[in-house]
Amino acid sequence: MTERQGVSGFFLDRVLPVGVVVLVILMLWYGFAVLLNSKFELDQAARAGTEISTRDLVAKTMAQERPVLPAPHQVATELWDTTVNKKITSKRSLVYHGWVTLSSTLLGFLMGTLLGIGLAVAIVHSRVLDKSLMPWIITSQTVPILAIAPMIIVVLNAIGISGLLPKAMISTYLSFFPVAVGMVKGLRSPDTMHMDLMRTYNATQAQVFFKLRWPSAVPFLFTSMKIAVAISLVGAIVGELPTGAVAGLGARLLTGSYYGQTIQIWTALIGAAVLAAILVWAVDIVSRIVMRNMGMAR
């Protein structure tokens, strides 16, 4: 398919396809909201002994205080209310909670990326480490994170580490994996001819690494980092659950479920999704800039 030019091209190629999908999702969402919330309204009406018209029923399902499934506009209103209408420092501000989660996400992502790169470099340069480390790296990801997260929090608390770091550690635990696997592949990606060329120059191992292996691995690194940043966010949210729900998007999810505040839960979910999208997009932007500077974008 050829790319169309100009404003109409932008509309046809980008806005229209995405818009159609969003529209379909919204319609389904409203449909399910009516379907799932109507039982409560029917019960209420039956208890009061009144008849309820379909029109009223539909209207009421979309305006419940604690719906089974909140309607999109309820979530949107709550989202607006908790981001724009609240001070950022307020405990009721989603921006505040989002920042708490974001900071541990970013710290965990940074540590995970560095750990992943470090492991990959070690594995690529040592047969022994390749044989001994790789199985453990894979095993580490077969353990359910929900089981391991409370233990990390508790153990670190016991040795006096609390706050940001334990949550970031859970993000690290999840995010180092795609980076390690991707970078092992990336650092091994130079073809035989490129490697032979370095051999004919009598290049040292360090020169082979910095002049050949590392640049070859950069595209792999960014692909891994896109996955890593998204699961870092998941790790940070999971890490907030066992801390007693003090702050963060995970805390909003937890308090929401304590008090049956479904609108708050859904708002936090949407907030997390938006945050993840922004993070992945940011990594993608950096990736494009780096690739262009390396002459690999055409």
Partner 1 sequence: MNAVIEAKGLNLTFETNDGPVHALSNIDLTIENGEFVSLIGPSGCGKTTLLRVIADLEQPTGGTILVNGVTPEEARLSRAYGYVFQAAALYPWRTISGNISLPLEVMGIARSERKARIESNLELVNLSGFEKKFPWQLSGGMQQRASIARALSFDPDMLLMDEPFGALDEIVRDHLNEQLLKLWAQTQKTVVFVTHSIPEAVFLSTKIVVMSPRPGRIHEIIDCDLGADRPLDIRETPKFLEIAHRVREGLRLGHSYDDREPAES
Residues that bind partner 1 (CB under 8 A): 191, 193-194, 196-203, 207, 211-212, 215, 218, 294-296, 298
Is 10 or 201 the residue whose CB approaches partner 1 more closely? 201
Question: Could you give the CA distance from residue 85 to residue 113 in angstroms, rounded to a whole number?
Answer: 36
Q: What angle do CA 201, 203, 207 make, to 5 degrees?
A: 135
Is 76 or 294 the residue whose CB approaches partner 1 more closely? 294
Is 54 or 192 the residue whose CB approaches partner 1 more closely? 192
Please, what is the minimum distance in Å from the beta carbon of residue 288 to partner 1?
14
Question: Could you give the CA distance from residue 260 to residue 278 in angstroms, rounded to a whole number?
Answer: 29
Is 59 or 297 the residue whose CB approaches partner 1 more closely? 297
Please, what is the minimum distance in Å from the beta carbon of residue 196 to partner 1?
6
Please, what is the minimum distance in Å from the beta carbon of residue 218 to partner 1?
8
Please, what is the minimum distance in Å from the beta carbon of residue 65 to partner 1?
58
Is 134 or 203 the residue whose CB approaches partner 1 more closely? 203
Is 154 or 296 the residue whose CB approaches partner 1 more closely? 296
Q: How far apart are the first and last CA of the chain?
A: 18
Please, what is the minimum distance in Å from the beta carbon of residue 183 to partner 1?
16
Can you tell me which residue has the tokens 């940070």?
236
Please, what is the minimum distance in Å from the beta carbon of residue 207 to partner 1?
5
Please, what is the minimum distance in Å from the beta carbon of residue 211 to partner 1?
7
Is 80 or 210 the residue whose CB approaches partner 1 more closely? 210
